[in-house]
A and B are shown apart, each in its own frame.
Chain A
Amino acid sequence: MTAEPTSFKREMLATLPSLRAFAVSLTGKHDKADDLVQDTVMKAWAKQTSFEMGTNIKAWLFTILRNEFYSQMRKRGREVQDTDGVFTERLSVHPPQYGSMDMQDFKKALDQLPDDQREAVILIGASGFSYEEAADICDCAVGTMKSRVSRARTRLQDILQIVGESEYGPDAVSSQVTTHNHSF
C-alpha cells in the first residue's frame, strides 16, 4: 500500500474530534485539552510503527492520550487541580432537548464524580467504546470498568434527581456528593 502514511494520518484526523472531546473532559479546559491532544498526536506519530493498521486506532489514541494526561499530572502535581470542571469552560451547550439550566446541573453532577468513574462513564456512554476497549484504555479489568460505570450512573441519577426535586438547594446536593472516596 503506497498510501500507508497518508491513511494513518487520515485515520488520526477522523479520530481527533472525539479524542479532543475526551481531552476536554479530562482536563476541564479547552486550551489544556488542545495541548494534550497535540502532545498525543506527536507521541502517536512517533510510535506509529507500533500501531497495526486496521486495528482500533481510536482506542490506541485514547490510551496514549490518557497515559500522557496522567503522566503530566504526576509531574505537575498540584497545578493540575486548576480546572474549571468538566466541560464547563467555553462550552455553552444548549441542545434543544434540554434547557440550559438542566445541562449546567448535569455538568456539575459529572464534575462531582470521582475521576475514574467520570472517565469510565464518558468512555462508555459518550466516546462509544465497549467495556473491553474502555478497560484496555484505562488499564483495568472489564469488571472494574463495569462497576465504575454503574456507580457513576447511580450517582448521576441521584444527583439529578435531587437537583430535579430541588427544594433542598445546592448545599444539600454537594454535601451528599462530595464524599470523594477513591476506594479502588
Chain B
Amino acid sequence: MRTQTAGADDGLGPNTDIGSRLRALYGAVQDEGVPDQLLDLLEKLDSAEQQQKATSTPRDGE
C-alpha cells in the first residue's frame, strides 16, 4: 500500500488543527533565515572545491 499523499488522510492536512499548528511552528523557524556562519561555511566548501578542481587535472575522471 502506498499512500503518497502525506497529510491528506491522516489528520495533518491543510485544514486540520494539528497540521496547521505544526506548520506554523516549523515555518516560524524556517522564516528566520539561514545564519551567516552556515552560508559562509557553504561558500568556503564550494570555493575550496573549485580551487581544487582548478589546480588538479581539469575534469577527467569522475
Contact = CB atoms under 8 A, between A and B. Distances in A.
B60 interface: no
Interface string A125-167: 1111111101000000010001001100100110010000000
A127 to B, nearest CB: 7
A170 interface: no
Given A20-B30, A91-B29, A124-B10, A37 B22 contact: no
Contacts, number: 126
A24 B28 CA distance: 11
Interface of A is mostly: helix
A46 B60 CA distance: 19
Contact of A38 (B18, B27, B33, B37): B37
Contact of B25 (A34, A126, A149): A126
A107 B25 CA distance: 8
B23 A17 contact: no
B55 interface: no
A125 B41 contact: no
A128 B46 contact: no
B23 to A, nearest CB: 5
A41 B42 CA distance: 7
A79 B46 CA distance: 33
Interface of B: 2-7, 10-12, 17-35, 37-39, 41-42, 45-46, 49-50, 53, 62
Interface of A: 5-6, 9, 12-13, 16-18, 20-22, 24-25, 34, 37-38, 41-42, 45, 49, 87, 91, 93, 95, 97-98, 103, 106-107, 110, 121-122, 124-132, 134, 142, 146, 149-150, 153, 156-157, 160
Given A95-B27, A110-B22, 5 more contacts: A17-B32, A34-B35, A41-B42, A121-B18, A126-B26
